Amino acid sequence: MIRPENENDIEQVFSVNSAAFDTSAEALLVNLLRANVNPVISLVAENAGKIIGHIMFSPVTLSGNTQLKIMGLAPMAVLPENQKSGVGSQLISLGIDACKKLGYFGVVVLGHPEYYPRFGFAPSSEFNIKSEYDVPENVFMVQELKPKYLANVSGVIKYHDVFKSV
């Protein structure tokens, strides 16, 4: 079951993010985003009362186009024993739906170039958009949630300052 995160989930969400990544940096990032950014979309995947996956989206800005409503997908985590079972796919799909419902029309992600395109993400270079981080262009991807929303724009995506603290 995929649902919005609630206060009772915080400890388990931290554990899921810590288990899914090599360090606890992403788990700490989730706590910082939750405390400092509004709005955030934070969804959990629950199975038999246990949180097995988590995804978070937070607003980002595009330099020179700060009026655009764009979300950044970060992080997304699934317990190692539940990976490759469709949990992450469900989190991404429902998270993107939640972005649309909040009136956001673009999503960016820094992630695996063989995974995210199946959800409609394309290399950011196709949109003339760059990441503020020095990463290969094929791992920084964009998805328009409204056709042509990012047509005729360019710039650098900036994440909330809390990303710099982890």
pLDDT in tens, 33-88: 999 999 999 999 999 999 999 999 999 999 999 999 999 999 999 999 999 999 99
d(CA 57, CA 23): 20
pLDDT for residue 166: 84
Whether residue 96 contacts residue 105, with contact meaning beta carbons closer than 8 Å, is answered with no
Output the CA torsion 16→134→118→29 (10° steps): 20
pLDDT for residue 44: 98
137 has pLDDT over 90: no
Question: What domain count does the chain have?
Answer: 1
Average pLDDT, the chain: 96
**CATH code for position 153:** 3.40.630.30
Query: pLDDT band at 165, cuts 50/70/90?
Result: confident
pLDDT for residue 109: 98
Measured at the CA of 30, the angle between CA 120 and CA 54, to 5 degrees, comes to 50
Q: Give me the domain span that covers residue 32.
A: 2-165
Whether residue 41 contacts residue 102, with contact meaning beta carbons closer than 8 Å, is answered with yes
Whether residue 116 contacts residue 141, with contact meaning beta carbons closer than 8 Å, is answered with yes
